Copies of this chain bind each other. A is one copy, B any other.
Amino acid sequence: MKLLVTGFAPFNGETVNPSYQIVQRLPDKIGGAEVIRLELPVEFGHAGRLLAREVERVKPVLVLCLGQAGGRTGISLEQVGINLREASIPDNAGIQPSGEPVVPGGPAAYFTTLPIKRMCARIRAMGIPASISYSAGTYVCNDLLYFLLDELEKRHPGIRGGFIHVPYSPEQAAGKAVPPASLAVSLAASGIQAALEEALLPDGKGEEIPPQGALD
Contacts and interface: CB of A to CB of B under 8 A. Distances in A.
Contacts of A89: 215
Interface residues on A, range: 35 or more
B82 A174 contact: no
Given A135-B134, A210-B177, A182 B215 contact: no
Binding site of A, secondary structure by majority: helix, strand, loop or mixed? loop
A216 to B, nearest CB: 3
Interface stretch (A20-28, A30-38, A124-132): A124-132
Contacts of A79: 82, 84
Given A107-B108, A170-B127, A213 B179 contact: no
Contacts of A152: none
A96 interface: yes
A74 interface: yes
Contacts of A142: 216
Contacts of A74: 173-174, 179, 182
A1 to B, nearest CB: 27
Interface string A130-171: 111011111101100000000000000000000001000111
